[in-house]
Amino acid sequence: MVNFSDTQKVNVNDRAVRNEVSDILIKVYSALKEKGYNPVNQIVGYILSGDPTYITSHKNARTLIGKLERDELLEEIVRAFLREEL
């Protein structure tokens, strides 16, 4: 039985996984920008809803982002933000 009062630990330390997530985010961002979308808004919409139609199929972006779990995307975004801020 899971005790939900305890803090859950997520651990994605594999550099190869982090690099893949980062590479996919950059490719998706670029494809969205090329098609005239606001990439930040579209990616946020996808992360919040899980609806792949927020991501264009241009340059295979929808398929690429579908290879990742949304929590992996969010983790990489937070990691990149904190690298910039710290």
The two counts, helices (H) then strands (E), for the chain are 4, 0
Domain that holds residue 34: 15-85
Q: Which residue has the higher pLDDT, 19 or 9?
A: 19
29 found inside a domain: yes
- Euclidean distance between CA atoms 81 and 83, whole angstroms: 5
Q: How confident is the model at residue 84 (pLDDT cuts 50, 70, 90)?
A: confident
Number of domains observed in the structure of the chain: 1
60 found inside a domain: yes
The pTM score is: 0.78
Span 20-68, pLDDT tens digits: 999 999 999 999 999 999 999 999 999 999 999 999 999 999 999 999 9
Q: How confident is the model at residue 2 (pLDDT cuts 50, 70, 90)?
A: low
Residues 6+ apart with CB under 8 A from 45: 51, 54
Residues 6+ apart with CB under 8 A from 9: none
Question: At residue 62, what is the residue type?
Answer: R
Question: At residue 33, what is the residue type?
Answer: K
